[in-house]
Amino acid sequence: MSNYLKPLPKIDERNRAHWDGAREGRLMMQACDHCAALRYPFSSLCPKCQSTGSSWKEVSGKGQVWSWCVFHRVYFKGFEGEMPYNVVLVKLDEGPRIYSNIIGVDKDKLRIGMRVRAVFDQATDDVTLVKFEEDKS
């Protein structure tokens, strides 16, 4: 899949569990070992209790659209072929907000509060992205 031109995540020891999980179809979020708070973006320190230890916890992948925007300007060449494209900030039912894309919803139909669930979109042999689709259940 060397023809994948969009930016890829920089996978390292600090975030590998998230990307390994995505390849297996599981949404893994970072949880503080001390106070259990989930955090995003991934980081080495818990902003709630300043502890350093963390583990990876599978979450439901369900949540709602917290906000949205639609890009009409090309900032990354790899996206050129699918302009305009949406970016959403999803508030997971477990609490954290994460950036992603909604699949299968017209840009004029994006709305805040829309129930969504995670889907796993293989980008390359090594990388699967966590995207979302409308959850009609």
DSSP structure string for 17-65: HHHHHHHTT-EEEEEETTT--EESS--SS-TTT----EEEEEE--EEEE
Strands 128-134 and 115-122: antiparallel
Residue 68 binds which entry of other proteins, Zn ion, none, CB below 5-8 Å type-dependent: other proteins
**What secondary structure letter does DSSP report for 3?**
T
Given Zn ion, other proteins, none, residue 49, with its beta carbon under 5 to 8 Å by kind, binds: Zn ion
Return the number of the residue (13 or 41) whose C-beta is nearest other proteins. Answer: 41
Query: Which of other proteins, Zn ion, none is residue 46 near (CB under 5 to 8 Å by kind)?
Result: Zn ion
45-51, long-range: CB < 8 A, 24+ apart: none
Residues that bind other proteins (CB under 8 A): 6-10, 15, 41-43, 47, 66-73, 75-76, 79, 84-85, 87, 89, 97, 99-101, 107, 111-113, 123, 127, 129, 131
82: tokens are 């699918």
Strand partners, 86: 70
Considering CB distances under 5 to 8 angstroms, the limit depending on partner class, which of other proteins, Zn ion, none binds residue 34?
Answer: Zn ion
Site for Zn ion in 24-83 (CB under 5 A): 32, 34-35, 37, 46, 48-49, 51
What residue ranges bind Zn ion (CB under 5 A)?
Answer: 32, 34-35, 37, 46, 48-49, 51
